C-alpha cells in the first residue's frame, strides 16, 4: 500500500463514514416521500444535518447540503449578489479557485486582498480599505476569505476580519473547507454570513458538502426544481452521502487528540528536510498552522519532479492543491507568499486520520535519498 500524505487534497474515507453510508443505502426511500421509507430517509438526513451543523457552530436550519466546497462557494457568491447594494467583491489572493475564479466570473469589479510574507492575509490592508469604502460608489462590501489556506495549512484571521466586515455592514463568505476537525472555527462566532465545507477533507465521501447561511444574509436563490433544501438546492438529497459526512465529522471530533499530535510528525519531517537541505524554505512557517500540513520548497528543485519521484517510491504528496495540480503555473497562494520561482519548487505534505510515524519515516527516507541524488546538480545550477 502506498504511503498517503495528501490529506488536504482528499482524506481516505473513514470506516465509520463507510459504515454509515451502507446503512443509509439499506434504508432507501426518498426523503421527500411521505411513506415510511421516505420518513426514515428524512430522519437520517436531518440527524446528519444536525451533527454537521453542531460541529461547525451553526443551526440545522442554516445548513444546506451540496456536492462540495466548490458548489457551496458558487452558491454563496450567487446568494450575496442577490443583494442589490453589492457592487464590488473583495477576494483574498490566497483563495481556492472556487471563490477566486468564481468572483472574477461574475462580471462584478473584483479587488484582491493581498497576503503577507507570513502566509496570512494583510488585515491592515483590509481594515484600511473598509475604512475608506465609499458606500455611494462601492456599494455594500462583499468579502471572500479562506479560514485555512489549503496549500500551506496557515490559519487565517477570519474572526478578526469578520468583526471588521460586520462593522462596515459588509457580507463575508468564509471557505471553511479545511477547518473541520482541524481548527476551532465556529460559524456563529466568526461574523460570517456564508461558509462552505466539504466531507472528503475530513474522511467523509467525495461529492458531499454544505453551505451555511446566517439568518441575516441575503439568499434569494431561484427555485428551479422540486424546492428541496428550502429551495436553495433542488434535487433529491444524497442521504447516504450526508450520513457519511456526519459520521466522519463525529469521528474527527472524537479523534481530536490524535489530530493535534500530528504536529509532532509534521515537525519531524520538516526537521529532517532542513537537516538535509538547510536552505529549504517553509512556506507559511512563521504563521499559525494546522498540525497536519507542511509546505516546503528547495530552491532549484522543481516541486512537480519531487512529486513524481516520491510517487515512484510509493508515496503520495502534492505540489499545491489538487485543483491546481497539472497546471503549468505555480499555485497562486505560494506565488503570493514567496514569488513564482520558489513557488515552483514547493511540495505539500499533508497528514490525516490514518497517518502513522512509520509513514513519516518512510517519507523521510525516500525524500532524503532522492535529494542526495539531485543535490550535486542543484549546487551546479546555483
Is 243 known to be catalytic? no
- From residue 99, how far is each of 77, 103, 110, 265, 378 by CA, in Å? 8, 6, 11, 31, 37
Q: Which three cell numbers stand for residue 119?
A: 502566509
Other CB atoms within a 10 A radius of the CB of residue 158 amount to 27
Contact (Cβ atoms closer than 8 angstroms) between residue 223 and residue 234: yes
| HSE (side-chain half, CA atoms, 13 Å) at 333 | 32
- How many C-beta atoms surround the C-beta of residue 336 within 10 A? 22
For residue 11, give the DSSP letter: P
Of 40, 83, 316, 323, catalytic = 323
Query: What radius of gyration do the chain's Cα atoms show?
Result: 21
Q: Are 151 and 318 in contact (CB under 8 A)?
A: no
Distance from CA of residue 101 to its chain's centroid? 15
Q: Which residues are catalytic?
A: 323
Amino acid at each position: 500500500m502506498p504511503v498517503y500524505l495528501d490529506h488536504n487534497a482528499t482524506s481516505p474515507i473513514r470506516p465509520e463514514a463507510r459504515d454509515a453510508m451502507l446503512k443509509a443505502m439499506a434504508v432507501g426511500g426518498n426523503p421527500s416521500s411521505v411513506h415510511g421509507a421516505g420518513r426514515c430517509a428524512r430522519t437520517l438526513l436531518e440527524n446528519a444535518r444536525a451533527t454537521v451543523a453542531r460541529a461547525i457552530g451553526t443551526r440545522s436550519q442554516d445548513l444546506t447540503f451540496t456536492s462540495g466546497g466548490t458548489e457551496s462557494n458558487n452558491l454563496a457568491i450567487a446568494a450575496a449578489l442577490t443583494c442589490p447594494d453589492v457592487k464590488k467583491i473583495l477576494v483574498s489572493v490566497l483563495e481556492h479557485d472556487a471563490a477566486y475564479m468564481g468572483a472574477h466570473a461574475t462580471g462584478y469589479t473584483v479587488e484582491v486582498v493581498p497576503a503577507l510574507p507570513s502566509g496570512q492575509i494583510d488585515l491592515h490592508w483590509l481594515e484600511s480599505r473598509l475604512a475608506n469604502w465609499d458606500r455611494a460608489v462601492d456599494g455594500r462590501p462583499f468579502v471572500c476569505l479562506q479560514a485555512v489556506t489549503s496549500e500551506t495549512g496557515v490559519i487565517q484571521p477570519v474572526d478578526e476580519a469578520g468583526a471588521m466586515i460586520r462593522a462596515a455592514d459588509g457580507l463575508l463568505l468564509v471557505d471553511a473547507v479545511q477547518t473541520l476537525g482541524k481548527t476551532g472555527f465556529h460559524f456563529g462566532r466568526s461574523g460570517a454570513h456564508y461558509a462552505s465545507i466539504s466531507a472528503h477533507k475530513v474522511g467523509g465521501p467525495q461529492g458531499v458538502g454544505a453551505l451555511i447561511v446566517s439568518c441575516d444574509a441575503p439568499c434569494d436563490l431561484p427555485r428551479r426544481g422540486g424546492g428541496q433544501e428550502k429551495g436553495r438546492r433542488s434535487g433529491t438529497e444524497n442521504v447516504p452521502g450526508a450520513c457519511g459526512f456526519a459520521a466522519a465529522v463525529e469521528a474527527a471530533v472524537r479523534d481530536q487528540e490524535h489530530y493535534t499530535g500530528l504536529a509532532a510528525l509534521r515537525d519531524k519531517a520538516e526537521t529532517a528536510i532542513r537537516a538535509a537541505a538547510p536552505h529549504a524554505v517553509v512556506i507559511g512557517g512563521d504563521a499559525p498552522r494546522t498540525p497536519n500540513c507542511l509546505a516546503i520548497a528547495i530552491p532549484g528543485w522543481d516541486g512537480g519532479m519531487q512529486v513524481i519521484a516520491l510517487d515512484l517510491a510509493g508515496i503520495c504528496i502534492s505540489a499545491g492543491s489538487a485543483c491546481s495540480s497539472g497546471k503549468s503555473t505555480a499555485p497562486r497562494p505560494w506565488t503570493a507568499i514567496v514569488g513564482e520561482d520558489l513557488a515552483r519548487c514547493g511540495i505539500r505534505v499533508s497528514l490525516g486520520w490514518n497517518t502513522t510515524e512509520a509513514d513519516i519515516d518512510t517519507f523521510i527516507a525516500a525524500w532524503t535519498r532522492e535529494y542526495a541524488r539531485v543535490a550535486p546538480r542543484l549546487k551546479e545550477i546555483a
